[in-house]
């Protein structure tokens, strides 16, 4: 897997001359794309931003995960913990991170335990979100049960609701089998309403990079990433298109104007900021986070800077950080990851890596800083999140 970069991929001779050409004896052998690590010869200014200029709330992290999942669906309330509060706090203090939001806090006793271990033990440093209990989806009265579960979750300390892409891409009529359940399925209406009534923001992830919906072939700009994670592809099968997922999400936001939706990963369409802008204009109850998408924002720095100017009150700092998630360098929780985010937001540095990795993990390009002014930095770093969470920093 992972053949050759360049136009000659199919013949396997991208870097080699044709056998017939007389000069081919001095040509190098074909190079496997996974072994290609070009070093930039560009000499440009390099900033090192060790601490964020203002305190940070990281709105999108995964400190705990479900202890049992099947076919992309969390099936039990019990949690697995990816990092201890002590090891997280050490990085947080070094990087000026006031608080981390643990989106995958689960539900029932798993949620209560996560809140006790983090939020209650270290007040103001951790906030935990709840998640739907999809394992009860087949029970009669699920819509009402799920709304009541949100009320209970708030009593147990949850600050919001997290929706993984489970809804729309994994959850099926019989939970793990049958037809896919749509994001705007009316059985979830009481849940969205409960969040609005209880002032709990909904952090919703509904799609993925647009390249994941196209064939994993030589034209795919995320070929290596999909090659490394074939299960991330939503091309073919009975998967809806990216556009259909976004439309279903929009119908939910339209139907529940009193509920605040933070659409994760730059509205799940960071390749098309015009689309995200149109939806932000249409839906006053929509915000976005920037988790795991500085690779996208930073390769369109002029458009991104305008986007931050225009929507400065509705963009939340976030990383998708996962302690010990070394397999995914674009979201591994460590000092280097945060330094890259700060460099992107605070400097006008040019052409640097968007992830702490030898090879850019989401696509072979580099990014540019957008040099935000202090007033916008403060909003993005913590003010917008603090307002959504109803906390003070
Ligand atoms: Zn995430």
pLDDT exceeds cutoff 80 at 337: yes
The per-residue pLDDT for range 92-123, each reduced to its tens digit, is 999 999 999 999 999 999 999 999 999 999 99
Both structure tokens of 67: 């202890």
To the nearest whole percent, how much of the chain has pLDDT over 70?
Answer: 94
* Predicted confidence (pLDDT) per residue in 284-300, tens digit: 999 999 999 999 999 99
Structure-token pair, residue 299 = 């390769």
pLDDT at 26: 75
Please give the pLDDT value at position 15: 46
> What is the predicted pLDDT for the residue at 169?
97
Rounded (5°) CA angle 244-246-247? 65
Is the predicted pLDDT of residue 10 greater than 80, yes or no?
no
Ligand 1 center–CA 155 separation, angstroms = 24
**Ligand 1 centroid, distance to 87 Cα (angstroms):** 20
pTM to 2 decimal places: 0.92
**Mean pLDDT to the nearest integer, 176-184:** 97
CA of 58 to the centre of ligand 1 (A): 12
Q: Where are the beta strands (DSSP E) in 243-393?
A: 261-263, 286-289, 315-316
Q: 163 CA distance to ligand 1 centroid (A)?
A: 10
Percent of the chain at pLDDT exceeding 90: 91
Measured in Å, residue 120 CA sits from the centre of ligand 1 at 23
- Locate the DSSP E strands across 280-348: 286-289, 315-316
CA of 291 to the centre of ligand 1 (A): 7
What lies within 8 Å, CB to CB, of 323 at 6+ separation is 63, 82, 83, 87, 88, 333
Spacing, Cα 326 to ligand 1 middle (Å): 15
Provide the pLDDT confidence category of residue 13 given band limits of 50, 70 and 90. Answer: very low
CA of 223 to the centre of ligand 1 (A): 21
The average pLDDT across 216-240 equals: 96
- Residues paired with 80 in a beta bridge: 65
pLDDT tens readout for residues 73-92: 999 999 999 999 999 999 99
What is the 152 CA–ligand 1 centroid distance (Å)?
23
Q: What is the mean predicted confidence (pLDDT) over 21-27?
A: 63
Query: Predicted confidence band at 193 (pLDDT cuts at 50, 70, 90)?
Result: very high
pLDDT at position 27, please?
Answer: 79
The pLDDT of residue 5? 41
pLDDT tens sequence across 125-163:
999 999 999 999 999 999 999 999 999 999 999 999 999
């Amino acid at each position: 897997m992972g053949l050759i970069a360049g136009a000659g991929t199919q013949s396997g001779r991208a870097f080699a001359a044709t056998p017939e050409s007389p000069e081919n004896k001095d040509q190098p052998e074909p190079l496997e794309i996974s072994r290609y690590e070009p070093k930039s010869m560009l000499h440009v200014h390099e900033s090192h931003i060790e601490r964020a200029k203002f305190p940070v709330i990281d709105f999108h992290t995964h400190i705990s995960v479900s202890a049992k999942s099947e076919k992309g669906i969390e099936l039990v309330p019990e949690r697995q913990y990816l990092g201890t509060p002590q090891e997280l706090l050490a990085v947080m203090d070094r990087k000026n991170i006031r608080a981390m939001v643990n989106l995958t806090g689960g539900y029932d006793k798993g949620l209560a335990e996560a809140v006790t271990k983090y939020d209650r033990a270290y007040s103001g440093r951790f906030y935990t979100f709840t998640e739907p209990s999809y394992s009860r989806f087949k029970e009669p009265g699920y819509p009402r049960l799920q709304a009541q579960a949100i009320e209970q979750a708030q009593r147990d300390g949850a600050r919001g609701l997290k929706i993984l892409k489970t809804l729309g891409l994994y959850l099926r009529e019989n939970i793990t089998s049958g037809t896919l359940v749509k994001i705007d399925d009316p059985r979830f209406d009481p849940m969205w309403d409960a969040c609005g009534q209880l002032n709990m923001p909904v952090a919703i992830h509904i799609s993925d990079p647009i390249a994941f919906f196209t064939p994993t072939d030589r034209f795919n700009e995320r070929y290596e990433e999909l090659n490394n994670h074939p299960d991330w592809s939503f091309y073919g099968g009975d998967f809806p298109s990216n556009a259909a997922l976004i439309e279903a999400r929009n119908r939910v936001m339209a139907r529940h104007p009193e509920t605040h939706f933070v659409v994760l990963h730059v509205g799940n369409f960071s390749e098309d900021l015009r689309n995200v802008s149109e939806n932000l204009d249409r839906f006053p109850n929509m915000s976005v986070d920037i988790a795991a998408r500085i690779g996208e924002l930073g390769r369109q720095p002029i458009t991104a800077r305008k986007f931050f100017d225009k929507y400065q009150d509705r963009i939340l700092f976030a990383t998708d950080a996962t302690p010990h998630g070394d397999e995914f360098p674009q979201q591994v929780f460590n000092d280097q990851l945060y330094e890259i985010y700060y460099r992107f937001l605070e400097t006008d540095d040019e052409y640097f890596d968007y992830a702490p990795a030898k090879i850019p993990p989401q696509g072979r390009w580099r990014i540019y800083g957008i040099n935000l002014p202090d007033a916008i930095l403060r909003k993005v770093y913590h003010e917008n999140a603090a307002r959504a969470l109803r906390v003070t920093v």
